[in-house]
Structure 1
Amino acid sequence: MTTAANLPKTYKAVSIPAPNGAWEIVTQELRAPAPDEVLIRVHASGICYSDHFAKLGGWPGMKFPCVTGHEVVGRVAGVGAGLSSKDREGRYKLGALVGVGWNGGYCGRCEPCRTGNAFMCKEGQVTGFTFDGGHAEYMYAPETAVVSIPEEALQKASYAELAPLLCGGITVFDAIRTAPWKPGDLCLVQGIGGLGHLGIQYASKLGLKVIAVSSGSSKKSLALSLGASEYIDASATDVVSYVKSLGGARLVLCTAPYSQSISNIIPAVGLNGTVTLVSAAVDGKIQVDNVVLNMSRAALRGWCCGCSPDTEQCVKFSTLSDVKSIVKEFPLEEYPNAYDAVMANKARFRNVIVFP
């Protein structure tokens, strides 16, 4: 085991004592990391909409009290004895810049892991759900959950701006990267929020022609500045008819969590196109006219976060391409208000807890 000098005996965290309980600022004892753990001093922890699963207590395997937070950026403060000397002197060296995302590690032995689907590991955990997450001054993470971040990333973005890449960023990055398309193809990004503002940047940087869709005209300038070629006000334009007049979208990226909005935009998909859902509809089930998909030979799929190696690629691409989260910073004590703003869709666009 290796730990930094002068570590405190205790640390503060945001905890929820039971399902539907009130958020509490608690003091916890700092212990030595377990053999396969990395102790991280947290510098920034993004608030994801998925934190509400912990609030409701509906996630399988959850234990209370629980510290949430799965968009974490910090520095290594301790390393378990089970990690190799190469790791302790390399990627987990004390002070190394690291992160932790939704995926809480993987075994490397089960069938999903052996077939390249480690994000679906049968023994895998979820950060902030099955073990305490990053809304705390310190956190412990399984070593396979830890994301190595190059120091040069801090030359392009702050800790707070990097944090949302660990969940929101990797989700939309891989959702776009893994879909079938060619440079110059049309990508329709539905929703300009925590996921959508990143989706516009990634799609345009990867070589797609981006049309951004939202309701009203207030986000037009932002969408264009982020890389969209065009903006459509869904309250004033028939989006599907317009996009169909252009030949349809090769990729439709649905980022707004509203079932009717998602259902309405699916028919904008073009020949051999793909509709990818990266948000979770919170107000009901989406509806699909299968004839629309049949006649266009289009595909409808969902997408969730990848594991740590995927996220490392996302962070590298974001750094090289100047993709950046738009964030608002909050101290730990203001977490309840920051969380409520995310749930009420008032965050512009990612609320992040920061630590000195």
Structure 2
Amino acid sequence: MTKAFGAVTEHTPLVALDIERREPGAHDVAIDIAYCGVCHSDLHQARGEWAGTLYPCVPGHEIVGRVSAVGSEVTAFKVGDTVGVGCMVDSCQHCSACDEGLEQYCDDGFIGTYNGATADAPGHTQGGYSQAIVVNDKFVLKVSHPAEQLAAVAPLLCAGITTWSPLRHWKVGPGQKVGVVGIGGLGHMGVKLAHALGAHVVAFTTSDSKREAALALGADEVVVSRNPDEMNAHANSFDFILNTVAASHDLDAFTALLKRDGTMTLVGVPERPHPSPNVGALIFRRRTIAGSLIGGIAETQEMLDFCAEKGIVADIELIDIHDINEAFDRMQRSDVKYRFVIDNATLNA
């Protein structure tokens, strides 16, 4: 049995659980989990705010640990390797999306690290708020950051790749002006990555109090989006805007800032639909509003390697697993800079 923390019902706090993990098959990698990031998705799923939660629900899809065993057919990993697991642990592996390394868009739907259908007991996947996990080797990632950074690497497996994938797909780089809307768990990574890719980065925040923090993350400029004068000063000037805000809001204020042929990509799913955008603002300047979902395994590995080379990690607060319910409450109040990470060794306490 493996020690874990999870929700038994949507109305109860997360509690200590004993869960089963399968014995490694021929293509499996067994991992002792050292750290697991805490994503807002974990809260939504565990508390039943998203439909279809399967209980007991053990959240966690920002996993860093060390390999404890490998299957007979595994060649890319060995015992002792430092590895990561993100939001996916399987997919059909034969559709056009999977063939192109875009498993997150699998025609049959990818298998999530938790709450996904599986033959293993109890019939659905259980995530990283646990001592260990067993994962198909195709969905395991190499981590090359130094040991002292590993806790802060964990959020790269979701927040990092969710922002990296659109930045790469829309070819963000030197000579471009790029906006990042929202300076939270996703947004702070978006600023760091866009800056490291060589773009001129403008951070958008609703609060003037976040100005210095955004500059410290790597933003070249900061705009308070509630200030019309600051917004108007940037009209028709952005090549690309990465919008990380999950709350429903007026998109027109940001599309008006795009150049002709500019794109704003959304990575947050709002609790209710955004107000319908002004179609004229799109048509008359050939602007685009797009969406992007996490990232494929190949581009996640690319992101991890890039971050290791550049020394990029998330800004985190390391917590004891027994403080997870307080962390959920604080996260709901946006009282974290910028990501909680669980020290999984505390599961042994």
- Common fold by TM > 0.5: yes
Task: Please list, as runs of the form range in 1=range in 2, the aligned pairs for 1:286-297 lying within 5 A after superposition.
Answer: 286-297=275-286
Counterpart for residue 85 of structure 2 = 100
Q: Which moved more, 1:277-286 or 1:264-273?
A: 277-286
Counterpart for residue 121 of structure 2 = none
1:73-104 CA distances to partner (integer Å, 9 max, x unpaired)?
Answer: 001112234x34xx1xxx32111111111122
Quick one: percent identity of the two aligned structures?
A: 28
Among 18, 24, 27, which residue is 1:33 paired with?
Answer: 24
Residue type of the alignment partner of 2:255: I
Counterpart for residue 241 of structure 2 = 252
1:154 aligns with 2:139: no
**Aligned equivalents of 2:161 and 2:199: distance in 1?**
18
SS in 1 for 2:209: coil
1:118 aligns with 2:112: no
Counterpart for residue 308 of structure 2 = 319
SS in 2 for 1:158: helix
1:105-161 CA distances to partner (integer Å, 9 max, x unpaired)?
Answer: 2332123223443222226301122111101111222222211112xx126x52210
**Aligned equivalents of 1:142 and 1:21: distance in 2?**
32
**Aligned equivalents of 1:239 and 1:106: distance in 2?**
45
Alpha-carbon spacing, 1:46–1:334, altered in 2? closer, same or farther (3 Å): same
Counterpart for residue 222 of structure 1 = 213
**Aligned equivalents of 1:18 and 1:335: distance in 2?**
16
**Aligned equivalents of 1:164 and 1:237: distance in 2?**
33
Alpha-carbon spacing, 1:186–1:353, altered in 2? closer, same or farther (3 Å): same
Counterpart for residue 13 of structure 1 = 4
Counterpart for residue 207 of structure 1 = 198
1:309 aligns with 2:294: no
Q: Which moved more, 1:117-126 or 1:268-277?
A: 117-126
Alignment root-mean-square deviation, CA: 2.1
**Aligned equivalents of 2:53 and 2:27: distance in 1?**
21
Deviation at 1:201, TM superposition (A): 1.0
Alpha-carbon spacing, 1:50–1:66, altered in 2? closer, same or farther (3 Å): same
Counterpart for residue 266 of structure 2 = 277
Residue type of the alignment partner of 2:304: V
Aligned length: 336
**Aligned equivalents of 1:61 and 1:92: distance in 2?**
34
Deviation at 1:326, TM superposition (A): 0.5
Residue type of the alignment partner of 1:311: T
1:285-313 CA distances to partner (integer Å, 9 max, x unpaired)?
Answer: 24311111111111111111112221111
Deviation at 1:21, TM superposition (A): 3.8
**Aligned equivalents of 1:142 and 1:238: distance in 2?**
52
> When the two structures are superposed, what TM-score results if normalisation uses the length of structure 2?
0.89
Counterpart for residue 46 of structure 2 = 55
Counterpart for residue 352 of structure 1 = 341
Deviation at 1:181, TM superposition (A): 4.8
Q: Which moved more, 1:331-340 or 1:52-61?
A: 52-61
SS in 1 for 2:256: helix
Deviation at 1:60, TM superposition (A): 7.4
Contact residue 263 and residue 286 of structure 1 kept, 8 A:
no
Counterpart for residue 192 of structure 1 = 183
Residue type of the alignment partner of 1:15: G
Counterpart for residue 339 of structure 1 = 328
Q: Which moved more, 1:94-103 or 1:15-24?
A: 15-24
**Aligned equivalents of 1:28 and 1:328: distance in 2?**
26
> When the two structures are superposed, what TM-score results if normalisation uses the length of structure 1?
0.87
Residue type of the alignment partner of 2:317: K
Counterpart for residue 127 of structure 1 = 113
Counterpart for residue 136 of structure 1 = 130
Residue type of the alignment partner of 2:323: E
Deviation at 1:355, TM superposition (A): 2.4
Unaligned runs of 5+ in 1: 1-9
Contact residue 153 and residue 313 of structure 2 kept, 8 A:
yes
SS in 1 for 2:30: strand
Q: Which moved more, 1:209-218 or 1:34-43?
A: 34-43
**Aligned equivalents of 1:165 and 1:181: distance in 2?**
18
**Aligned equivalents of 1:164 and 1:48: distance in 2?**
8
